[in-house]
Structure 1
Amino acid sequence: MSFKKETPLANAAFWAARRGNLALLRLLLNSGRVDVDCRDSHGTTLLMVASYAGHIDCVKELVLQGADINLQRESGTTALFFAAQQGHNDVVRFLFEFGASTEFRTKDGGTALLAASQYGHMRVVETLLKHGANIHDQLYDGATALFLAAQGGYLDVIRLLLSSGAKVNQPRQDGTAPLWIASQMGHSEVVRVMLLRGADRDAARNDGTTALLKAANKGYNDVIKELLKFSPTLGILKNGTSALHAAVLSGNIKTVRLLLEAGADPALRNKVLALPYPYFNSIGHLCKEIRQLLSEPS
Structure 2
Amino acid sequence: MCMMSFKKETPLANAAFWAARKGNLALLQLLLNSGRVDVDCRDSTGATALMVASYSGNMQCVRELVLQGADINIQRDSGATALFFAAQQGHNDIVKFLFEFGASTEFITRDGGTALLAACQHGHCPVVETLLKNGANIHDQLCDGATPLFLAAQGGFVDVVRLLLTFGAKANQPRQDGTTALWIAAQLGYSEVVRVLLLRGADRDAVRTDGTTALFKAASKGYNDVIEELLKFSPTLGVLKNGSTALHAAVLGGNLKSVSLLLEAGASPSIRNKANERPADLTKNERILRALKTAEAIKSSLP
TM range (shorter): over 0.9
Partner of 2:55: helix, strand, or coil?
helix
For residues 85-121 of structure 1, give each alpha carbon's deviation from its aligned partner in whole angstroms, at most 9, with x where no partner exists: 0000000000000110000011100000000011110
Q: Among 65, 69, 72, which residue is 1:69 paired with? A: 72
In 2: Cα distance, 1:62 partner to 1:123 partner: 24
In 2: Cα distance, 1:73 partner to 1:7 partner: 18
Equivalent residue number for residue 149 of structure 2:
146
In 1: Cα distance, 2:43 partner to 2:185 partner: 39
For residues 9-43 of structure 1, give each alpha carbon's deviation from its aligned partner in whole angstroms, at most 9, with x where no partner exists: 11010100000000000000000000000000000
**2:51 is the counterpart of 1:40:** no
For residues 170-208 of structure 1, give each alpha carbon's deviation from its aligned partner in whole angstroms, at most 9, with x where no partner exists: 000000000001001100011001101110010010111
CA shift in 2, pair 1:32/1:285, >3 Å: farther
The two structures have a TM-score, normalised by structure 2, of 0.91
Instruction: Kindly state the Cα deviation for residue 291 of structure 1 after the two structures are TM-superposed.
Output: 6.1
The two structures have a TM-score, normalised by structure 1, of 0.92
Runs (4+) off by over 3 Å: 278-281, 283-291, 294-298
Instruction: Kindly state the Cα deviation for residue 239 of structure 1 after the two structures are TM-superposed.
Output: 3.6
In 2: Cα distance, 1:204 partner to 1:193 partner: 19
In 1: Cα distance, 2:52 partner to 2:289 partner: 55
**Structure 2: unaligned runs, 5 residues or longer:** 1-6, 278-282
In 2: Cα distance, 1:129 partner to 1:151 partner: 20
Equivalent residue number for residue 298 of structure 2:
293
Q: What does 1:122-133 align with in structure 2 at a 5 Å threshold?
A: 122-133=125-136
Amino acid at match of 2:29: R
Q: Among 228, 233, 236, which residue is 1:230 paired with? A: 233
Aligned residue pairs, count: 292
Instruction: Kindly state the Cα deviation for residue 237 of structure 1 after the two structures are TM-superposed.
Output: 1.2
Contact 1:253 / 1:289 at 8 angstroms: preserved in 2?
A: no
Partner of 2:212: helix, strand, or coil?
coil
Equivalent residue number for residue 221 of structure 1:
224
Instruction: Kindly state the Cα deviation for residue 290 of structure 1 after the two structures are TM-superposed.
Output: 4.8
**Structure 1: unaligned runs, 5 residues or longer:** none
Instruction: Kindly state the Cα deviation for residue 231 of structure 1 after the two structures are TM-superposed.
Output: 2.0
In 2: Cα distance, 1:16 partner to 1:273 partner: 63
Equivalent residue number for residue 271 of structure 2:
268
Instruction: Kindly state the Cα deviation for residue 5 of structure 1 after the two structures are TM-superposed.
Output: 4.6
Partner of 1:272: helix, strand, or coil?
helix
Instruction: Kindly state the Cα deviation for residue 233 of structure 1 after the two structures are TM-superposed.
Output: 4.2
For residues 241-277 of structure 1, give each alpha carbon's deviation from its aligned partner in whole angstroms, at most 9, with x where no partner exists: 1100000110111000000000000000112366xxx
Contact 1:187 / 1:223 at 8 angstroms: preserved in 2?
A: yes
CA shift in 2, pair 1:160/1:101, >3 Å: same
**2:205 is the counterpart of 1:202:** yes
Amino acid at match of 1:12: A
> Over aligned residues, Cα RMSD in angstroms?
2.2
In 1: Cα distance, 2:290 partner to 2:115 partner: 48
Equivalent residue number for residue 113 of structure 1:
116
CA shift in 2, pair 1:169/1:250, >3 Å: same
In 2: Cα distance, 1:253 partner to 1:182 partner: 22
**2:190 is the counterpart of 1:187:** yes
In 2: Cα distance, 1:25 partner to 1:233 partner: 63
In 2: Cα distance, 1:283 partner to 1:268 partner: 10
Equivalent residue number for residue 23 of structure 1:
26
